[in-house]
């Protein structure tokens, strides 16, 4: 089985530990980079998950290499609203 280079985890309604375990599994399967993506109220879960992976599950093995923030319009025309987004990149240390 070929190792995946980059894994993406979309953070939503599930408990934080689900996303932590998904990231740890991807790193154990050979991923060099895992990206947490979240919008709106899920942003805090993405930050928590990234910090738990970095500090508790894989201490000294992964680093947060970049954090991108932004916003996007959601909804139908006329009823659009702006939702904040975040993208947190974790990479394995060499």
C-alpha 14: how far from chain center: 13
Query: Higher model confidence: residue 93 or residue 62?
Result: 62
47 domain-assigned: yes
Burial group, residue 38, by CB count within 10 angstroms (0-12, 13-18, 19+): buried
Rounded distance between C-alpha atoms, residue 81 and residue 66, angstroms: 26
Rounded distance between C-alpha atoms, residue 81 and residue 48, angstroms: 25
CA 13, 45, 9, 85: dihedral to nearest 10 degrees? 100
Residues in the chain: 94
62-81 pLDDT, tens digit per residue, is 999 999 999 999 999 999 99
Q: Return the CATH number at 64.
A: 3.30.110.20
* 2-6, 22-26, 72-76: range with lowest mean pLDDT: 2-6
39-68 pLDDT, tens digit per residue, is 999 999 999 999 999 999 999 999 999 999
28 domain-assigned: yes
1 domain-assigned: no
Domain membership of residue 88 as a residue range: 6-92
43 domain-assigned: yes
Per-residue confidence (pLDDT) for residue 42, from 0 to 100:
97
Rounded distance between C-alpha atoms, residue 77 and residue 55, angstroms: 42
Q: Does the reported pTM lie above 0.85?
A: yes
Per-residue confidence (pLDDT) for residue 1, from 0 to 100:
47
């Amino acid at each position: 089985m070929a190792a995946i280079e980059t894994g993406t985890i979309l953070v939503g309604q599930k408990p934080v530990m689900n996303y932590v375990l998904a990231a740890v599994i991807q790193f154990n399967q050979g991923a060099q980079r895992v990206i947490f993506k979240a919008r709106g109220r899920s942003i805090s879960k993405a930050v928590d998950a990234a910090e738990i992976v970095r500090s508790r599950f894989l201490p000294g093995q992964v680093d947060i290499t970049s954090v991108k923030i932004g916003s996007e319009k959601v909804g139908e025309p006329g009823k659009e609203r702006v939702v904040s987004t975040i993208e947190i990149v974790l990479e394995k240390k060499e």
